[in-house]
Amino acid sequence: MTANLKRKCAQLGEVHPFYLQNMKLTEKVRSMIAFELNCSEMQYHNELPPCPTPQTPVAVSILLQEEWIVDEEEKEELSQLTISLVSQNKQSPLEQLNGSLTSGHNTSKRMSKKINRPGGSLTKIAYYSTVSYRKVLYNAEKDSAASNDGGDYQYESSEIERLHFVKFETKYIEHWLDFIRNHLMCSKESMLGKTIKATGGGAYKFAELLQQKLGLIVEKEDEIGSLIKGCNFLLRNIPDEQFSYSRHEDPEYRFINTEPNIFPYLLVNIGSGVSIMKVEADDKYERIGGTSMGGGTFWGLGSLLTKAKGFDELLQLASEGDHRNVDLLVKDIYGGDYSALGLTGGTIASSFGKAMHHGHGKSDGSPGFSEADIARSLLFTVSNDIGQIASLYAMLHGLRKVYFGGYFLRNHPVSMHTISFAINYWSRGAVQALFLRHEGYLGAIGAFLLGAEECDTEKYSWGENYAGSSGLQSPLPHPPGWPGGTIDQLEMDRCDQQLTFFPFLACPGEYVPDTVDLTKDKEARDYWLSCFEGSLGSFVDRAISSQPNIPDSQERANKFRDKYLQRLHNLKNHPFAYGNLTVRSLLDMREHCLNEFDFPDPYLQQKKMENEYALKLLKKHLAMVDKLEYNERQEVLVRGFLAGNVFDWGAKEVVKLMEHGLSFTEAGDKLQKRPWLHDDLDDWLNRQQQGPYKCAIIFLDNSGCDVVLGIMPFARELLIRGTRVVLCANSKPALNDVTAEELIMVMKQVALVCPIMHEHLEAGTLCVRESGQASPCLDLSRLPLSLVDELVKWQCDLVVVEGMGRAIHTNLLTSFTCDSLKLAVIKNRWLAQRLGGEMFSVMCKYEAGSVKTSVVSTATIDNVPVPQL
């Protein structure tokens, strides 16, 4: 059918969603592109690298945005243009380009020079691709057709759906139009008569060019919808997407986790002018106002009053000036403060108020201010005004959150600071100015979503790929072959399911997984950054040894090392680059980088070996446990749980022990003597005197002894007492953590050893579920919707969280409405000492479920002996 279909597509020039979906099943031939172009000098630059044969386009939609910019050179006027292009393309050339964009750049020196300079007029491209990766086959005997890399390892090719958003200087725009034409479209003829959705004046200006280049007819469409769609998408899917900014605070950036309910909010789009939208739901929004003082005013007046060429030179000039020479300050009128009104002398009483005594052509001397001073005053004037008007609208409509989009801000510190200050000032703190890490992509993302509705983008959750994304103030260098400059890039991977919040969080709106924010804690940041750097070598070795028969593994492992190292170094200078810096984000970034270089599971062999080893001991261990009387057994089970947790390949000090061979009993002996660092064991044992739980979910950690000898007996006891048990393991590999797929294999073996477990597995009262995570940590705001539904149905009343990553680096301070047990062995000397303990200190934290209230979290912090963590 495929060949026919393709031909048909070529004839029709577009494809019915039905076909597209079918194609998805049969061929991985999709690539979607959305462009958002700001403006252009329309100059030809170096040619792009040669690309594969043109393919047939499947569907095209282009969205031209309301706000358009006329470049200072005035050669051409171009609108912000967003093109979503669904094309039929086996190996997207953009994908190849992307490969070169993301493969290990080691040019941090060159980057740092560029860091605080916002780019020129920017072009944004959004495209959708299917990326192939190696994926480990866990059930090897079942699939003999898969490629065999060498004895123990078997991989198949697997795909992930990925959204790419690239932003670069607009001077290459025509390049890109040609690029689309040459590589993503079959011929101009095939596009003839097709229509493009467009909006704004740019639509008119651009129509001709588009028709000439691409053969497309422009049709008007609204743009604000796409902005809002993009904003909602980011707020829902990117953790730490939003942040508040204050230049004089440490940290400057304060990130906010995703919230269960993102509405209502005010979206202020600062383009040439300013539009202010009130957003109450996905499909409920209105433009409630705006102001004509916007980016165009800054640019226009700036061009009249200074010699700066273009928006960015103006911003640069503004950062060099001193507005106090141009603005009339309170002290210029009062001679000092106006204390009756609480106004300090430095407050601006009248913008440009000093300029009136210095008209041009005045012969008597210099005006007393420079062009830079004018630019700065202008930036303050416009930013303050927007902030004031936004806060007035927010207050009038009772909204607390104001987000900003549009080309004006570009995460420029002075502007963000001024707007934040104004909003805070005029609303007396009632309204908060919030900025988005990916502010520049709102329109492109929204346009993509509008153009890609048949791809069900919104039915899935997405996650940021740290390996492929650039951070705040940390652009990536241009790929080889490009004429220079930097690009910004965001990559989002589609999760297999829709993710949502754990239903038994005491305060889901305030949930932050991480215990320590390293952006705020320099000592911890320095330690962890050097710790991750120090252990990198062993990860590289591990990665290489996991693919012994694949020839380029050494090369890829080196690329992995370079890339991760570069990220660590960048984070030293820009800890805020990817949101709050946490141990979790460092761990996740390492996993993402490993994946990027096709090391899906470096611990595969280790995990398998350890599971097999532990399974051999299970029968004897269960027999030992069964001999104990009830009370003693409860305690032994917890101790066994903890002993198992010692087996952690992520902890470099334990690795040394394990490399020399470590038995389960020895591990148990390593544990801290009671009382533990945090010791709620007695409370837990007392709770075991009462009736059983209805349903328990256990978030698992390591493979081997941990899951087999630690968890299985513990879970078995719960089952015997009549509790339904959900074993929740990672969806994708991370370190030596057990994955759900592996766990299923393990459970088959466990069932052979233990009839009780077998029975419950059969009955469904014991089950394995994916956690939706691919991290050594646990983000309880991103669990599979299907799991959450089950937990609610089964009335889950106990959550057990295991290990350093899940119960200490994350979730240590989290309160639940159900009972919770957090068990972990601290296997990092520095962390143990920071918490006031020694190596192998034990965290045993049992808490009865709390009432849903926002006060709980503070109370919880007080109970933990580690508030200074």
Partner 1 sequence: MPVEEASPQAASPPSGPSKAATNGHGSVVAPVAHKTIMEQNGIASHPSHDAPPSMPWFGMDIGGTLTKLVYFEPTDLSEAEEESEVETIKNIRKYLKSNSAYGETGHRDAHLQMENVRVGNHTGTLHFIRFPTSEMPNFLELSKSKGMATLASTICATGGGAYKFEEDFQREVNLTLHKFDELDCLIRGIEYIEDNNMDRECYYFLNPRSEDLCEKVTFDFSDPYPFLVVNIGSGVSILAVDGPDNYRRVSGTSLGGGTFLGLSCLLTGCKTFEEAIELAAQGNNENVDKLVRDIYGGDYQRFGLGGDIVASSFGQMNSAEKRAKVSREDLACATLITITNNIGSIARMVAANEKIEKVLFVGNFLRVNPISMKLLSHAMEFWSGGQLKAIFLEHEGYFGAVGSMLELMRTGELPSCSG
Q: 288 vs 751, which CB is nearer to partner 1?
A: 288
User: Which of 15, 374, 589, 777 is the binder for partner 1 (CB under 8 A)?
Assistant: 374
Stretch that binds partner 1, among 4-12, 379-387, 552-560, 655-663 (CB under 8 A): 379-387
User: How near is the Cβ of 711 to partner 1 at its closest, in Å?
Assistant: 53
**In whole angstroms, what is the distance from residue 677 CA to residue 866 CA?**
10
Cα 781 vs. chain centroid, distance in angstroms? 13
User: Which of 138, 265, 380, 840 is the binder for partner 1 (CB under 8 A)?
Assistant: 380
User: Which of 53, 339, 573, 795 is the binder for partner 1 (CB under 8 A)?
Assistant: 339
Residue 251: cis peptide before it, omega within 30 degrees of 0: yes
**In whole angstroms, what is the distance from residue 39 CA to residue 690 CA?**
69
Stretch that binds partner 1, among 268-276, 514-522, 710-718, 722-730 (CB under 8 A): 268-276
**In whole angstroms, what is the distance from residue 591 CA to residue 71 CA?**
42
User: How near is the Cβ of 421 to partner 1 at its closest, in Å?
Assistant: 6
Cα 590 vs. chain centroid, distance in angstroms? 14
Q: 128 vs 426, which CB is nearer to partner 1?
A: 426
Q: 355 vs 544, which CB is nearer to partner 1?
A: 355
How many DSSP H helices and E strands does the chain contain?
31, 29
User: How near is the Cβ of 659 to partner 1 at its closest, in Å?
Assistant: 54
What Rg, from alpha-carbon coordinates, does the chain have?
29
User: How near is the Cβ of 581 to partner 1 at its closest, in Å?
Assistant: 25
User: How near is the Cβ of 363 to partner 1 at its closest, in Å?
Assistant: 12
**In whole angstroms, what is the distance from residue 95 CA to residue 103 CA?**
12
DSSP, residue by residue, 449-466? HHHTGGGTGGGS-EEE-T
Contact call for residue 813 and partner 1 (CB under 8 A): no
What is the footprint of partner 1 within residues 173-212 (CB under 8 A)? 200-201, 204
User: Which of 24, 188, 358, 758 is the binder for partner 1 (CB under 8 A)?
Assistant: 358
User: Which of 349, 655, 657, 671 is the binder for partner 1 (CB under 8 A)?
Assistant: 349
Q: 20 vs 386, which CB is nearer to partner 1?
A: 386
Residue 675: cis peptide before it, omega within 30 degrees of 0: yes
Stretch that binds partner 1, among 23-31, 391-399, 635-643, 654-662 (CB under 8 A): 391-399
Q: Strands, DSSP E only, in 576-699?
A: 678-679, 695-699
Q: 121 vs 739, which CB is nearer to partner 1?
A: 121
Residues 200, 222 contacting (CB under 8 angstroms): no
User: How near is the Cβ of 441 to partner 1 at its closest, in Å?
Assistant: 22
The secondary structure of residue 730, as a DSSP letter, is B
**In whole angstroms, what is the distance from residue 569 CA to residue 586 CA?**
12
Q: 421 vs 578, which CB is nearer to partner 1?
A: 421
User: How near is the Cβ of 284 to partner 1 at its closest, in Å?
Assistant: 15
Contact call for residue 359 and partner 1 (CB under 8 A): yes
* Apex 465 CA angle, 462 and 471, nearest 5: 115
Q: Which of 500, 674, 650, 656 is nearest to 584 (CA)?
A: 650
Strands 242-245 and 253-256: antiparallel
**In whole angstroms, what is the distance from residue 48 CA to residue 478 CA?**
12
Site string for partner 1, 707-726 (x = CB under 8 A): --------------------
Contact call for residue 364 and partner 1 (CB under 8 A): no
Residues 603, 649 contacting (CB under 8 angstroms): yes
Q: 197 vs 417, which CB is nearer to partner 1?
A: 417
Q: Strands, DSSP E only, in 249-305?
A: 253-256, 265-270, 274-281, 284-291
**In whole angstroms, what is the distance from residue 779 CA to residue 241 CA?**
15
- Cβ neighbours of residue 202 closer than 8 Å, sequence gap 6 or more: 64, 65, 68, 77, 78, 79, 80, 81
Stretch that binds partner 1, among 49-57, 332-340, 468-476, 747-755 (CB under 8 A): 332-340
**In whole angstroms, what is the distance from residue 659 CA to residue 552 CA?**
26
User: How near is the Cβ of 350 to partner 1 at its closest, in Å?
Assistant: 3
User: How near is the Cβ of 427 to partner 1 at its closest, in Å?
Assistant: 7
User: How near is the Cβ of 80 to partner 1 at its closest, in Å?
Assistant: 11
Residues 23, 67 contacting (CB under 8 angstroms): no
Q: 179 vs 407, which CB is nearer to partner 1?
A: 407
Kind and range of the H or E run holding 435: strand 432-436
What is the footprint of partner 1 within residues 56-75 (CB under 8 A)? 66-74
User: Which of 384, 432, 773, 815 is the binder for partner 1 (CB under 8 A)?
Assistant: 384
User: How near is the Cβ of 303 to partner 1 at its closest, in Å?
Assistant: 5
Contact call for residue 118 and partner 1 (CB under 8 A): no
What is the footprint of partner 1 within residues 413-432 (CB under 8 A)? 417-418, 421-422, 425-428
User: Which of 25, 145, 340, 623 is the binder for partner 1 (CB under 8 A)?
Assistant: 340
Residues 778, 587 contacting (CB under 8 angstroms): no
* C-beta contacts of 133-136 below 8 A and 24+ residues apart: 133/157, 133/158, 133/159, 133/160, 133/595, 133/598, 133/600, 134/158, 134/598, 134/600, 135/600, 136/600, 136/601, 136/604, 136/733
Residues 604, 500 contacting (CB under 8 angstroms): no
User: How near is the Cβ of 195 to partner 1 at its closest, in Å?
Assistant: 17
Site string for partner 1, 20-59 (x = CB under 8 A): ----------------------------------------
Residues 615, 746 contacting (CB under 8 angstroms): yes
What is the footprint of partner 1 within residues 70-109 (CB under 8 A)? 70-74
Token pair 């494809």 in the structure block, residue:
15
What is the footprint of partner 1 within residues 281-320 (CB under 8 A)? 286-287, 289, 291-297, 299-305, 310-311
Q: 113 vs 428, which CB is nearer to partner 1?
A: 428
Stretch that binds partner 1, among 104-112, 270-278, 614-622, 799-807 (CB under 8 A): 270-278
Contact call for residue 251 and partner 1 (CB under 8 A): no
Q: 358 vs 829, which CB is nearer to partner 1?
A: 358
Q: 332 vs 533, which CB is nearer to partner 1?
A: 332
User: Which of 43, 106, 107, 344 is the binder for partner 1 (CB under 8 A)?
Assistant: 344
* Apex 266 CA angle, 264 and 267, nearest 5: 125
User: Which of 388, 498, 749, 765 is the binder for partner 1 (CB under 8 A)?
Assistant: 388
